[in-house]
Structure formats: structure tokens, C-alpha cells
Structure 1
Amino acid sequence: MPQPNFTHTPAFACFHLTPPNQGTAQTYWAFFQIMAATIRRTCPAAEIHLLTNSLSEVPAKLNCDQIFRFQTDRSQKECFDRLMVEEVACWQTYFSSDLFAGPTVLIDVDLLVQKNPFPLFDAGFDIGLTYTDSPYLHTFNSGVILVDPARRDVIFDYFSRISELVDGYRPEFQEWYGDQMAISAVLDDPDYSDAAPEIINREANGVRFRLWPTAQWNYSLPLDDKNHPIFAASPEPGILHFKGARKGLMLRYATEIMGFKAAENPLAPGGWEIT
């Protein structure tokens, strides 16, 4: 795949709030460090932006280039009770800031990047999403979203609409899944159960979308009949998403399959050195 010539530095932008529980907070900073190490190897020219709020305590040596803070007047517990509202509002504010200058990939904290996604940016879309053909899952997964900066007004309007939709959802969806519901609603809740593995181009409300199967750029390890994740090398997908119980396999995958070294260090973010 040819390498595009970007005017501005490409970036990965990861939304993450520090959980109130200290043990959980440490675990998630470890996930961040593992994720960041894969980006540094796979996409050395890209920056890593942490998107968080004004309350989150961020480790001093976290492996990121920029920290974007969204101002909040709520407690951290209140923010977690409406996590999706906080997330999409932070997205909207970030994409109106000067940090959004080059092609950007929004990512969750529990990802491993195996291939460089920036060659996917070809000026042919504004928003890139990943979709699933499973009838048991949300059509779109918000763990990977590609955002092209060429038409900033279109991007701002898109995320404003996403934020507006999530603001109107019931509390349980403001806490979980509201972002994915809104992403689907903007595209009139499509059903792609027969589409995979096709790459789909669509336009809606003036936004040009490109849709990739999750199997290509947002893949999750399979589950067995007891819903336990199955550990297996999966070299083809560009990005691996360790959703739910799969998180317990993230460090093992990075070390055993991707060849990273991990050493416990209580002074490092998350308590681990990843090299």
C-alpha cells in the first residue's frame, strides 16, 4: 500500500478517563502503555494524543505526545455514570481544537496496532468506520474511527450531531453504547449482515463515509461456547480490539505474538515497562 504524503502529522487520539478506583486506574494505564508501544513501532511518524477530562490524574511518564483536557464541573463518578456523553463531548471539542491538524484515528485504550492505518487516508472520505455483520452486536464499533481533517466544518458538524443524539438517550445508554447507537443513527441504522468483507462508501447528510469490516481494522479474538476468549495469533487485522474479557490477553498477545518485552516496574505508568 503506498504511503500518503501528509502536510500535518498524523495522530492517534485515545479518550480515557482515570477511574476512581486506584487499582482499576493502574490496570488501564498499563493497557494504554501496551497500546502506545505498538503504535510507536508500527506508526513511528504518528503522534499519540490522550483525550481526557480536567479531573483525570495522568501519570507523568505516560507514553503520549499531547494531553487534551475537556473541562468538566462534575465529579469523576458522575462522569463515569454518563461516560458516553463525556466521550462524545470531548471528541467534539478536540476536533475543534488546533490539535486536530492531520489525519486522525480515534481509538479505545484496549487496542493493539499491528499495521499502519494511515495509508487508508486517500482524500476519499471524511469519516471512516468499522462495521460488523453480526446480528448480535451493534453495527458499528466506536473503538476505531478514522477522521480526515480536509473538511473541518463537516467533521465538527458530524460530531456535534453525535453529541446531540447521545445527550438525548436514556441514562443507561448515556453510560454505555450510546456512542455506537448515535453513529448508527446518523446512517439510518443500516444492516450490513450480508456485506462483509466489502469496503463500503456512503454519503449521508453531507458526510462522506468509508466503512471497513471489523475483521480488517477492529478485530476481536473469538469467544468459545462459554464466552471465554480464545488466544490465537491473528496477524491479518490491522488493529486488534481486546474488548471485555479479552483485555486479560492483551499483554500476553503483545509479548508472545508481537514480540514486545514487559517488565514490572512500580514507578512506570500502570506498573509495567513495555519495550
Structure 2
Amino acid sequence: MTSTVLPRRADRISVVGVLNVTPDSFSDGGRHDSVDAAVEHGLALRDAGADLVDVGGESTRPGARRISADEELRRVKPVISTLAAHGVAVSVDTYRASVAAAALDAGAIVVNDVSGGLGDDAMAAVVRDAGCPWILMHWRGHSERMQELAHYDDVVREVHDELMARVDAALAAGIDAERLVIDPGLGFAKNAAHNWALLASLPTLVGTGLPVLVAASRKSFLGRLLAAPDGIPRPVGEREAATVAITTHCAQQDVWGVRVHDVQASVDAACTVTALRSAAAHGATT
């Protein structure tokens, strides 16, 4: 394993492409559950502009059943190694230290940990020894029961404080601050109102000085926002315009990146925000 740094761009926020090699993920479960199909999609995400392709082998949607580490690794390792051999920057979406270590050996350069390090006490040592970036997501429990934990007096303050506790734990474990990223964990132990409050208060997280990743793509709170008159949520595949709107908002709030399914649409939105900012700055000096 070699030491790596977080991919950053000067021209726009980063866009992380979602690659689920699972049969049960909420948006694309079963579509890329063979190695060939997953690799093809991963290459397509890279070609569409993804700065990082996030490979996950276990669904973390609400209510999803957990799988064994061996099964998770069987799903992700050949995909990661093949994509890395093609020069694709890959992150592994896992909370298990053993899976993260094997994925890093296979060519992944970032660990995207939905548990923020709470899911496996050994994860910090794996990340420290690898010298790789570690995305710490706000988390209160596994998928089977996380929605039971969606209780807050002040969701913005509590998510901020709980994330900072995970950052402090990572620093105490010897991980360099410049390798840490924080993610508010939209939809994880949070209802729609919580998600919207966090999105409206992104400066609170950006103000920590740490890179911020936002993962809102196609999530159920967008489906409920766009529900039909009879109350039926908008289908998953028809939530892209709302996802792009959130990408635009995130770019305006100076987050580090967004994690999305449709990479090109979010790249286009991010580039547009950069162009508008550049024009405004140029206009202010002429």
C-alpha cells in the first residue's frame, strides 16, 4: 500500500461516482453485480468525469441485511483491482477493516467508511498504516435499526459534534488531519427534515476546515419531495434533477465533493457554478 492524498480539483468540486456491486442497493442493486458489468460501469463513470469511483459491496439502505466480510470482499476486490489497473482512482465503501485492507492492497486509494470508524475498531490502524484518505460519515447504527435512532434536539449541532468526536478519535489514532473527510450522512439515522436542515447548514461543516462530502443522490427524501398528488414518491430513476440541484447548492457552499449516480450531470452543474463565480469575480475587477 502506498500513501495517497485526497483527489482535489482547482476548477470545480470533486464528483464521486457510485458503483454498487450489490443485488439490493436502493438505486442500482443488481445492475452491476458481475465483475465485467461493474468494471464497464466504473470505466464509464471515470470517462463521464468522476474524480473517484466508490465501490461498495454491501447495501447500507435502511433495513438492508448485513453480509459477511468474505462475501463483501468477494464482490469488491476483483472490481477494484481491475479498475485500478485501468488507472481509475477508486475508493472502497466499507466499514470493515479487513475489507478495507484488502481493497487498499488491490488498488483502492480512499476508504469511505459509512460508520465513521464506529463499525470496526481496527479501521483506524488500517487507514493510518496505509496513509490513505478516510471519509468519516455520521452514523449511529447499522441499517437494520438506524432509523430508530433518528432523534435529535438540534440535528445540525449534534451531527457536527458527533462528527468532530470521530475526527478527534482519528487524530488520536495517529491519522493526519489532511487525510480526513467528513460526511453528514444524509438518510442515515435521519428523516427528511433532518436532511434538509443539514443541507441548509453546510457552512457549519465546511467551517471546520475539513473537506466535506455530501451524498444525497436519488435518496428517498428527494422522492418524497417530488411525490405525485396521490402521495406516491417519485421513482428512484426520476430524481436526477433534484440531485443536480443539490450538487449546485453544494458547489456554492464550497464542499469538497458530492457522491452521485449520474456523474456527468453533476460535473456539468459543478462546472457551471465555477463559471458563474469566475464571471462574477472578473466583473468585480473590471
What range describes the TM-score normalised by the shorter chain of this pair? 0.3 to 0.5
TM-score, normalised via structure 2 length: 0.34
Structure with the bigger percentage of helix: 2
Higher relative contact order (CA 8 A, sep 6+): 1
Structure with the bigger percentage of strand: 1
TM-score, normalised via structure 1 length: 0.35
